Structure 1
Amino acid sequence: MSAPDESLKEFFPKYKPPIRPRKNTCVGLGMEVMKKLKVLEKDFPGITKSMMLVSCDENIQDLVDYATSSPGPQGFLIETEKDHVMVAIHIKIGGRHGFVLIYFSRSLLARDPKGNLTAGIYFPLKSKTTEFTMFFDSNSGKQRKKLKFETFLELQKIPDEVVDEVEQCNDQLRLRDGELLSILQRLATIIADDEYMAELLEVNNKIVQLSAGT
């Protein structure tokens, strides 16, 4: 690792993700909100440490079924589709605590004005992750491809057909020319680092345990 910390576990709590001006996703907006709310610390001591980013579902068809059919906290985390992030402040009312929910998948997505997904990539964060899903619109209709990360380890060896599909997805994500291909190459390098992935999964597992209250 290039960071001064000896392990990801030590580095993770200190990392401040960069935020692109005027191009915020829900994550970036949430972090901006948390930054601005810190000025309330003087009037509400402890509010800074109580704030967190939490995951949620943007589109719930049946609220009653969604809220009552889950087989416990762990099942709820696994079976629901967390695709959005918002800010929450941990409070305690009458001795009752809340839980932090997290999103197991990693994604880069584009939506139309109605909020429908139009293009993007996503993959689960788990042991032995080897592939990701990419979807986009082409002249022949909607495309959904499962691609191997190892394909992107060496850019010069990527098949032309795959490069063309990535470029189509790149344009629909409204990224700079070649940006998605560069992102996928960096992801492939990270996924191939077994030592780093083991540390990352350990950190993620601790967050899951905290989220489930175990």
Structure 2
Amino acid sequence: MGLTTMEKQSTESATNDRHQFEKTKSELQLRNTGAVRRMPSTSSEDDYSNYDADEEEDEEELAEDNGHGCWSTADLTSVDRLQMSDLYADIRQLLARQQHHHHQQLEPMQSQWIVGDGYDLNAFNQMNGVWPLGHPLPLPDWSTQVKPTLTFENVWQYEELNAIVETTLQRMLEETHYNTVNLFMDFYRSFKRTRRSDLRSFFQFYDVPINRRHHMCVSLAFEIMARLVQMFPVLSQYLYLVSCEEQVIDCNDYVQLDEEYGLNSANAAVEKEHVMVAMRIAINGRRGIMILDPGYHVSRAVTVMIDQSYPHTGWFGQSKEPHLQRDYCYNYSQHSDKFVEWKEREIRGDEASFKNSLVYVAQEYSTAIDVTVRRNLVYNFRSLLSRDAKGQVYAGIYFPLVANVQESYLTIFYDGPNEQRVRTKLMFNAFKVGKGKLPDSIVQHLTKLAPQLRLPLPELTDLCKSLAEVVTDQNFISQVLSINDDIGNMSVEN
């Protein structure tokens, strides 16, 4: 399909501006990203450089592929403001003009966004979903209000904001962890304190805690939104949470579910495992959307244009290793513009495999905590990961939940000497030493892992010992796996 005259002019103008854009982006990265860039290892945990623990992949494949509970020493609420008035002047003027033009619609929200160690959930329009009797999860739901579109006169204006957003995102990836370990520990401890025997009833009434230390995809979405709003308060009116159904079998059938029942119906049988951030945009009349996905360690502010012309991101490399290359692509679904289709391509040797996921962008997702975080609590895989500014995972721990708890094991990985990745499996039973000493071989690994996870060695050691107690509790783990199976069976057709 040929480009229209307007699209050709926009594209030509954008091409002329790209050199200046890259220069500006480099300046932003030098000024805003406080830590030194990490170089990727020659050998890496390829599946884990892109891993969101909500993803339902087979453990054998993960092991074959090699795929927070910690505060950064940096203040996570900080935004580097040096040279800010000059550097961001054009964007501030653009946002001010739109706020004045839509002053009634874009009246600033009074929410705090960040409150102490957590978030103001009212700012993110979060609520509890309806929970039908016999359904394994609450039903997802969305806000009835549609977020407005942020308009740009030309590509250059958009590129300038995109560079700021992307630099802020990369800094956040570097400063935070992906962590489903501590959420799981909190869940276990709360259950044991009740002295109940039935986990399923406890699961339904459990008030899921969200804080700024233990991040999974939902709180990472909260965090990037809060940081951007701190820089540009008017963005609170444009940024919104969006839900994602991973590895959809038939995208057309899924869209028809929405048309026939609505995704907030029990008949839709969706689990909404993942959450991203979106913002509607229009560039010289051309419409699109910006997608941010820190939960899968994506370091780009992805642009999805309806006409798929520049600045549409298209295919990009998320990770590349000697034996595996993973690429992502985001496009509006051909079945409905309510959805963005997220394609994942894995290339191993001469063979390529594809996975399709659907991001529902039509409305703001209001049950991210009640549905998505709750679903994650009983997922059968946990991880705590350190990422660099480019979204590459370089150190961490991960483990599956297994039916026979005596076979439970923990995998740790970290950067070793000469840019070699060290990866080893440790049986959890080895950590059940009470007040005794751990074997020297384990201590040596933890000593090297701790600084790369930015955790004191005693804290990391205590975490592993506590995890050994949790994952070897046969009654608890059996019930977790049963609930996880029920959720998987409910959504198997999707």
Scaled by the length of structure 2, what TM-score is found? Answer: 0.31
CA distance in 1, matches of 2:344, 2:448: 39
Find out whether 1:145 has 2:424 as its counterpart: yes
Q: 1:61 aligns with which of 301, 324, 327?
A: 327
Shift of 1:31: 6.9
- Segment drifting more, 189-198 vs 151-160: 151-160
Shift of 1:3: 1.6
Alignment partner for residue 105 of structure 1, among 353, 376, 381?
Answer: 381
Could you tell me whether the CA contact under 8 Å between 2:416 and 2:422 is conserved in 1? Answer: yes
The answer to which of 54-63 and 191-200 deviates more is 54-63
Q: Specify which of 198, 204, 219 is matched with residue 13 of structure 1.
A: 204
2:401 to 125, 144, 166: 125
| 1:199 partner letter | Q
Q: 1:152 to 1:26 in 2, by over 3 A?
A: same
Identity %, equivalent residues: 31
| Contact kept in structure 1, 2:396 and 2:414, CA below 8 Å | yes
The Cα offsets for residues 171-195 of structure 1, whole Å up to 9 and x where unpaired, read as 1111244222111111111122111
Corresponding residue for residue 414 of structure 2: 136
- Matched residue SS, 1:136: strand
Q: Distance in 2 between matches of 1:139 and 1:124?
A: 28
* 1:114-157 deviation line (CA, Å, top 9, x unaligned): 11111001112231252121001233532101110001111524
Structure 1 distance, partners of 2:475, 2:388, is: 38
CA distance in structure 2 between the partners assigned to 1:23 and 1:127 by the alignment: 26
Specify the alignment match of 1:166 in structure 2. 446
The residue number in structure 2 matching 1:205 is: 485
Distance 1:17 1:142 in 2: 35
Deviates more, 1:1-10 or 1:111-120: 1-10
| Letter aligned with residue 203 of structure 2 | F
Contact 2:399 2:409 in 1 (8 A): yes
- Please name the residue that 2:467 is paired with: 187
Report how far residue 205 of structure 1 moved: 0.9
Mapped to 2, the partners of 1:163 and 1:206 lie a distance apart of: 38
- On the 8 A contact 2:414/2:422 being kept in 1, the answer is yes
| Equivalent-residue separation in structure 2 for 1:166 and 1:21 (angstroms) | 24
CA–CA distance in 2 between the matches of 1:32 and 1:15?
A: 23
Q: What is the count of residue pairs matched by the alignment? A: 177
The 1:193–1:25 alpha-carbon spacing in structure 2 relative to 1, beyond 3 Å, is closer
Which amino acid in structure 2 is aligned with residue 61 of structure 1? D
Cα deviation for residue 104 of structure 1 reads 4.2
* Kept in 2: contact 1:120–1:136 (CA 8 A): yes
- 1:14, 1:188 → 2: CA distance? 26
Q: Which has the higher contact order (CA 8 A, sep 6+)?
A: 2
Given that residues 408 and 428 in structure 2 are in contact (C-alpha distance below 8 angstroms), is that contact kept between their aligned partners in structure 1? yes
Deviation of 1:109 (Å): 0.4
**Are the equivalent residues in 2 in contact too, given 1:132–1:148 (CA < 8 A)?**
yes
**2:461 paired with 1:175:** no
Given that residues 386 and 394 in structure 2 are in contact (C-alpha distance below 8 angstroms), is that contact kept between their aligned partners in structure 1? yes
Query: Matched residues in 2 for 1:154 and 1:31: separation?
Result: 38
Residue 212 (structure 1) shift: 1.7
After superposition, the Cα gap between the structure-2 partners of 1:106 and 1:12, relative to the gap in structure 1 and judged at 3 Å, is same
Q: Do the aligned partners of 2:385 and 2:397 also contact (CA within 8 Å) in 1?
A: yes
Q: 1:132 to 1:110 in 2, by over 3 A?
A: same
CA distance in 2, matches of 1:177, 1:25: 23
> For 1:29, which of 220, 223, 228 is the aligned residue?
220
Q: C-alpha separation between the residues in 2 aligned to 1:121 and 1:2? A: 26
Is the CA contact 1:105–1:125 (under 8 Å) kept in the aligned structure 2?
yes
Any gaps of 5 or more consecutive residues in structure 1? 38-46, 71-75, 81-87, 91-100
